[in-house]
Amino acid sequence: MKKQTAAITAVGGYVPDFVLSNKVLETMVDTNDEWITSRTGIKERRILKKENAGTSYLAIKAAEDLLNKSGVDPKEIEFVLVATATPDIPVAATAAFVASEIGATNAFSYDLQAACSSFLYGMSTAASYIESGRYKKVLLIGADKMSSIIDYTDRTTCIIFGDGAGAVLFEPNDEGLGLQDEYLRSDGVGRQFLKIDAGGSILPASEETVKNKQHYVYQDGKSVFKFAVSNMADVSALIMDRNGLSNEDVQWLVPHQANRRIIDATSKRMGLEADKVMMNIHRYGNTTSATLPLLLYDYEKQLKKGDNLVFAAFGGGFTWGSIYLKWAYNS
């Protein structure tokens, strides 16, 4: 009996209208367009300016885009998983609110947090629910309002991050398409290099933590870059080797959009030409959990049934990994 696989059958996405360009950042912090572009590959990023709107707003927009394009009845969705590092509020799951707002009234839902690897880990989770045979339609959304946790006087972080969301629908497949293999890793040594100090159970919010700006992202750029370059490249090469894939067999690398140099190092290790590497970092910056689905959103029309895609990500924690997926439809 053929194993039931979990395939992506629909894609949606959303980015806010407001564009924060490098030129605008030059007026905010001591930096310039040439410096940012040469070191990160980023030209602009989108920022959610709508009042009282959080990550759920982005997630709902991306999900609605997917539903409108695919014609799927939201009541048929059985599970809504929101991958995010910036939930609307503590305790109450953002995913539960998103599911209700899009009309997925028959779905259960929860959030998944693994920093920039959140969507990658979410793919594994969503696919597992499908492969088990218990569910037929799983909606996975990667969404982050990074502007809510960024200090715009800190030039080491404010140049990198943006806001956005992407969504995919996982369904059963009997043609052997969809998720083929995964290699997911984590290492707690990374906690000191990429974090938000306050607001958790170790250091709850106080007047002092707010005054000390301890609710914003802190990143030791050099250490994170060093770990990310080697680990993202390693797992991508490993997933190819484990599945007998040559560089000619891989149609697309779908890499987390943190830094152009990390992406280039990964594709070089895999032996892939630039035209096989999905890239939108220049337009959106690092949208954390949303980078991978936004790549699929931007490149969907170029994808063909049977294409071999290798996903790779690296995030805080540290968390990282790679997934090999066969595309299931012609757009």
144 close to 286: Cβ distance less than 8 angstroms: no
CA distances from 311 to 56, 181, 209 (A): 25, 11, 37
Pick the catalytic residue from 173, 231, 256, 259.
256
Whether 256 is catalytic is yes
Of the candidates 48, 75, 49, 76, the residue with the CA atom closest to the CA atom of residue 62:
48
Pick the catalytic residue from 22, 173, 259, 286.
286
Question: Which residue's structure tokens are 């899009």?
Answer: 102
Query: Cβ-count burial of 323 within 10 angstroms (0-12 exposed, 13-18 middle, 19+ buried)?
Result: buried
Pick the catalytic residue from 116, 158, 173, 259.
116
Whether 286 is catalytic is yes
Of the candidates 12, 120, 13, 128, the residue with the CA atom closest to the CA atom of residue 72:
12
Query: Cβ-count burial of 92 within 10 angstroms (0-12 exposed, 13-18 middle, 19+ buried)?
Result: exposed
Give me the phi and psi of 161, to 5 degrees please. Answer: -100, 150
Q: Which sequence positions are flagged as catalytic?
A: 116, 256, 286
